Amino acid sequence: MLAVVPPEYFPRLERVALALRAGRLVLADTFQYSRQSYHNRARLRNPQGWQWISVPLRAHQHGVPIDRAAIGQLRGWQRRHWRAFCYNYRTTPYFEFYEPRLEELFRQEWRTLGELTCATVLLTLQFFEIDVPVVRASELVGRPASMAEIARVLAADALLLPEATAPIDRAAAPRVYALRFEEPVYRQNFEGFVPGMTALDLLFNLGPVEARALLEAHSQVVPL
């Protein structure tokens, strides 16, 4: 089953659960960047509750394809994001196992949002030990920019989509399935539980085996 979603900056749990249930995953980086999205930002748990980390973009990038949205020249954003991860997660049980590769990502130079977000998705899936074939829509013939076009190019007769958007694209393939996902409550690094964090929050606290088990237990594929 082919799952199709735009890439998120350090994706949320629902996106990782989608990849876990998919046979193939397309990162739809040809879709338009939207300011009110998770394309260039993620939420981290902190002592006060949570905080955003946002990738700065050049002016007038709203509506530009994600793979062509240009990252701004604001100095130090990568260092600030890395410090936020370290400050909030260094005392979690599993952070140290992933720290070197995460730091390496922040040391690289990134020109476009698509390059960066797709890299964070791939890294997250590797950390979760989810072995699913992944391709970027921008790498496909003709740069398909809709669910229907992606399904046609890949000759997919079944699509797996997030439950919130699946009804909109139910005509994109002969069979469309929705991922029904209920975010699990789990032990976080600070008092209480706050939902909606990057999936790495779960990973750093529980490790890959327990994290995957929780995602499987709290997700279900349903036909439309």
Own/partner pairs for 134-137, CB < 8 Å, 24+ apart? 134/19, 134/24, 134/25, 134/26, 134/27, 135/24, 135/25, 135/26, 135/27, 136/7, 136/26, 136/27, 136/29, 136/67, 137/4, 137/26, 137/27, 137/28, 137/29, 137/30, 137/31
- What's residue 75's pLDDT? 86
- What's residue 73's pLDDT? 85
**Residue 36 corresponds to which tokens in the numbers above?**
């009110």
User: Per-residue pLDDT tens for 203-215?
Assistant: 999 999 999 999 9
**Residue 173 corresponds to which tokens in the numbers above?**
């393939």
Mean of per-residue pLDDT scores for the chain: 97
- What's residue 82's pLDDT? 99
Domain ranges of the chain: 2-223
User: Per-residue pLDDT tens for 124-165?
Assistant: 999 999 999 999 999 999 999 999 999 999 999 999 999 999
**Residue 99 corresponds to which tokens in the numbers above?**
């720290």
User: Per-residue pLDDT tens for 67-110?
Assistant: 999 999 888 999 999 999 999 999 999 999 999 999 999 999 99
pLDDT, mean of residues 161-173: 94
Give residue 196's region: left, alpha or beta (phi > 0; psi -120 to 50). Answer: left
Look at residue 32 and give its three-state secondary structure: strand
